């Protein structure tokens, strides 16, 4: 045995040395996943004499591929791994296609279109089909096509599938767009996964040649593979069957971009003679953190069971922070950071603050600035620097100061009004000739001899501005911003796109609206539009990164995957926020996996925080504590005062969670198989089943969550927030509600 294998624990070493046949390694968080892959490659080359050229290692990021190569070179001594195929799925498949794509009708010098190139070609296809961006946003079409390709659904199959209006229109665009890509001898990013499959199916000899080359296949983060990646790996490994996958089903959190958890869950069905190794010894987190994570994730049904164990001490309990609103929540987070720095000497870099949605960063950023705590946003940009926020604020600036040409030029074509650069240049010339401001030139464009189409567009724009200026004279900041959203329909357009990016931008605009309402409510004597803009200017001018590397990290939970920090704050632990607006079982389980990922980023300490009230869509909303907090083993959760929550009475726990009846840590949800109850059954079980926080289903309104319970027996009423129908108050006796959790 080569000495370097002694660095591994027993399970790691067994997985590394099981070189023949299919192998799955379930690598729990912090259990040494990358080490197993790199040591296995080094073992194959040094101890088994495998030629590097016969090894294919697939990852999901260039950074991960580079780190693996560096570690392998270090184990083997630089140069020993020359010829090794290691890279992302996309980069490796692009390399293969350069050699073989001529066999399926493309030239080897094909172009790879980036997202903008792809969007431009999709827009051309839509124009030719007479589909306007207003009826179906191009971003939505691009997203639909991308999801189809990642699922290996080709245009002909996609057209034959039933779907709503958007999908039917997108199917036509997909077919034309595919033809145009071929005419351009181009592939988009998703084609780098699709075209190899087409090649393998059309040319078995090529597939056989590649199967002989890639005798050993290793795949990192297997839980994140989509349908196309799964099929490609299965086809390439079919001959020698030395396929080695490493992943963790409990960390599958990317279904929204095509990842299919079934790939890892069904690996043992695909390869019934496979060996499975579970890496459960965690080198990152304390025993308490892992106990919390284990107690939550075991509530998922679709999983391969495993329990992480720590090689460290038990450590500190989880601390639950309760606040009356999101502002106090942020202030309490800042207070704990200051306290731990003074008490334990932590650097700022030892703290991370996670949130479920990007929009939540706004309040946290404001609090960090006010407390002079250096911070940095990861995976996104600072709230006030996000494009949609800068666009909306530019409208507000221009309403206050119509000579602000910088803001004017930013908003004149947002949303699109078909006012091009040539027209703007002519308007500037006209303003100079008239010795007027650019906005005056716009208002007087009808007298300047411009084309009627441009005049109409400019009149539409100036009409919006004038209405907002008039409203700003007597209305609040909230009123002005609400009217801006209504007149321009910007939020509605983002909703219509229905992509992950557009919905995040929509949430950010709603957070700005909430900020406006909060500002108006708490600054009655200085709540003018000018005061509001001054407040934003001071906030956005803050240098968040400073020159030091010593800062608190702020990020979404998705952005935290793969990272670790001594102290982690997970904020917004409320129903409809984390878990996020979901009542479907598969979606809820992914939200739970996301929470599991958040907890397992922590090395020493976890804080969970929630607010009884939070501004949503410009209005304060009462909140319920997240069901995920309830799922944590109560014996390891304490309040800020240090009180063990399991030692409190059920009534105290109910009060703390904001529920009408106990939804404490030890209560159990009713069985999902409880079915539709008769009024008599409902009356008997109301105290158990119909409680604030319970998930129910109504035959007409669909899934929803109970907010309030009033009365008992035949007169009992429940207020329910339905996913699509909003808030409804129903008589339990006649509602025929089915309890789902």
Which of the residues are catalytic?
33-34, 220-221, 251, 601
- The helix (run of H) or strand (run of E) holding residue 419 is none
Q: How many residues does the chain have?
A: 741
d(CA 380, CA 386): 8
The answer to whether 240 and 216 are in contact (CB under 8 A) is yes
Tell me the C-alpha distance between 581 and 129, whole Å. 36
With residues binned 3-state (H G I as helix, E B as strand, rest as coil), the percentages for the chain, rounded to 5, are 55, 15, 30
Q: In whole angstroms, what is the distance from residue 250 CA to residue 279 CA? A: 13
Token pair of 664 as six digits? 């404490």
Instruction: For 459, list phi and psi in degrees, rounded to 5.
Output: -65, -40
Peptide bond between residue 412 and the one before it cis (omega within 30 degrees of 0): no
Burial call 65-98: b when 16+ CB within 10 Å, e when fewer: beebbebbbebbeeeebeebbbbbbbebbbebbe
How many other CB atoms are there within 10 angstroms of residue 259's CB atom? 23
CA distance 716 to 89: 57
Assigned token pair, 179? 């033809």
Alpha helices in 101-243 (DSSP H): 115-128, 138-150, 155-160, 165-183, 191-202, 204-213, 227-236
CA distance 275 to 256: 30
31 assigned to a ligand binding site: yes
Extract the tokens encoding 561. Answer: 């995957």
Is 29 labelled a binding residue?
A: yes
State yes or no: 34 annotated in a binding site: yes
What residues contact 543, with CB distance under 8 A and at least 6 apart?
none
Is 21 annotated in a binding site? The answer is no
Give burial (CB, 10 Å; 0-12/13-18/19+) of 736. middle
Burial status of residue 258 (CB atoms within 10 A of its CB: 0-12, 13-18, 19 or more): buried
For the record, the structure tokens of 156 come out as 């002909």
- Residue 425 is labelled as binding a ligand: no
Structural contact between residues 664 and 656, judged by C-beta atoms closer than 8 angstroms: no
User: Is 559 flagged in the annotation as binding?
Assistant: no
Q: Is 30 annotated as a binding residue?
A: yes
Residues 6+ positions from 716 with CB-CB distance below 8 Å: 682, 683, 686, 690, 709, 710, 731, 732, 733
Give me the sheet containing 695-698, strands edge to edge. Answer: 726-731, 717-722, 702-710, 695-698, 738-739
693 is annotated as contributing to ligand binding: no
Neighbours of 114 (CB within 10 A): 10
Contact predicate 601/565, CB 8 Å: yes
In this structure, the number of other CB atoms found within 10 A of the CB of residue 354 comes to 27
Q: How far is CA 642 from CA 96, 321, 341, 569, in A?
A: 59, 11, 19, 17
For residues 219 and 223, give the distance between their C-alpha atoms in angstroms, rounded to a whole number.
10
Q: Annotated binding site for ATP: which residue ranges?
A: 27-34
Q: Annotated binding site: which residue ranges?
A: 27-34
């Amino acid at each position: 045995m080569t000495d370097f294998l002694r660095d591994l624990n027993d399970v790691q070493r067994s997985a590394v040395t099981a070189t023949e046949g299919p192998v799955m390694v379930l690598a729990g968080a912090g259990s040494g996943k990358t080490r197993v892959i790199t040591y296995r490659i080094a073992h194959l080359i040094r101890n088994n004499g495998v030629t590097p050229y016969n090894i294919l290692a697939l990852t999901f990021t260039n950074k991960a591929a580079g780190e693996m190569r560096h570690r392998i070179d270090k184990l083997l001594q630089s140069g020993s791994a020359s010829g090794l195929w290691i890279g992302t799925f996309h980069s490796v498949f692009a390399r293969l296609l350069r050699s073989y794509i001529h066999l399926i009708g493309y030239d080897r010098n094909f172009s790879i279109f980036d997202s903008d190139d792809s969007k431009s070609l999709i827009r051309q296809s839509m124009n030719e089909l007479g589909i306007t961006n207003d009826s179906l946003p191009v971003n939505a079409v691009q997203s639909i096509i991308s999801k189809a390709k990642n699922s290996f659904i080709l245009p002909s199959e996609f057209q034959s599938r039933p779907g709503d209006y958007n999908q039917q229109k997108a199917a036509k665009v997909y077919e034309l767009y595919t033809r145009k890509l071929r005419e351009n001898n181009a592939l988009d990013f998703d084609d780098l996964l699709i075209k190899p499959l087409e090649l393998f199916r059309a040319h078995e000899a090529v597939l056989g040649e590649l199967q002989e080359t890639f005798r050993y296949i290793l795949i990192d983060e297997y839980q994140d593979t989509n349908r196309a990646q799964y099929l490609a790996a299965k086809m390439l490994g079919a001959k020698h069957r030395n396929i080695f996958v490493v992943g963790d089903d409990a960390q599958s959190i990317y279904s929204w971009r095509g990842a299919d958890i079934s790939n890892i869950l069904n690996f043992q069905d695909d390869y019934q003679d496979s060996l499975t190794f579970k890496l459960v010894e965690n080198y990152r987190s304390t025993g308490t953190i892992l106990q919390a994570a284990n107690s939550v994730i075991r509530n998922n049904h679709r999983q391969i069971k495993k329990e992480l164990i720590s090689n460290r001490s038990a450590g500190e309990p989880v601390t639950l922070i309760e606040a009356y609103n999101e502002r106090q929540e942020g202030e309490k987070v800042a207070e704990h950071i200051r306290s731990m720095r003074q008490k334990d000497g932590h650097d700022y870099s030892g703290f991370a603050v996670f949130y479920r949605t990007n929009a939540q960063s706004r309040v946290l950023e404001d609090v960090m600035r006010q407390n002079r705590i250096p911070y940095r946003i990861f995976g996104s940009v600072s709230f006030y620097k996000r494009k949609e926020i800068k666009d909306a604020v530019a409208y507000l600036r221009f309403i206050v100061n119509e000579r602000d040409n910088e803001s004017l030029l930013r908003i004149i074509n947002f949303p699109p009004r078909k006012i091009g650069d040539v027209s703007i240049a002519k308007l500037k010339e006209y303003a100079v000739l008239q010795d007027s401001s650019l906005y005056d030139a716009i208002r007087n464009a009808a007298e300047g001899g411009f084309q009627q189409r441009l005049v109409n567009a400019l009149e539409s724009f100036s009409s919006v501005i004038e209405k907002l200026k008039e409203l700003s004279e007597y209305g609040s900041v909230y009123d002005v911003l609400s009217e801006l959203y209504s007149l321009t329909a910007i939020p509605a357009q983002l909703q219509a796109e229905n992509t992950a990016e557009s919905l995040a931008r929509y949430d950010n605009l709603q957070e700005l609206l909430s900020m406006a309402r909060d500002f108006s409510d708490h600054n009655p004597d200085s709540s003018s539009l000018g005061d509001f803009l001054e407040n934003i200017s001071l906030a956005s001018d803050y240098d968040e990164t400073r020159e030091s590397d010593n800062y608190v990290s702020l990020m979404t939970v998705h952005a935290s995957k793969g990272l670790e920090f001594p102290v982690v704050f997970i904020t917004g632990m409320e129903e409809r926020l984390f878990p996020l607006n979901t009542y479907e079982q598969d979606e809820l389980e992914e939200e739970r996996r996301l929470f599991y990922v958040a907890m397992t980023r922590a090395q020493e300490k976890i804080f969970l925080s929630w607010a009884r009230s939070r501004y949503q869509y410009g209005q304060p909303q009462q909140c319920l504590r997240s069901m995920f907090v309830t799922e944590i083993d109560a014996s390891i959760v304490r309040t800020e005062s240090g009180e063990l929550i399991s030692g409190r009475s059920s009534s105290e726990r109910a009060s703390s969670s904001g529920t009408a009846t106990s939804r404490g840590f030890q209560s159990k949800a009713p069985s999902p198989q409880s079915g539709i109850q008769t009024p008599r059954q409902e009356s008997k079980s109301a105290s158990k089943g119909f409680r604030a926080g319970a998930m129910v289903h109504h035959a007409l309104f669909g899934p929803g969550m109970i907010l309030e319970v009033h009365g008992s027996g035949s007169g009992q009423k429940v207020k329910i927030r339905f996913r699509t129908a909003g808030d409804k108050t129903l008589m339990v006796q006649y509602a025929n509600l089915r309890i789902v959790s």
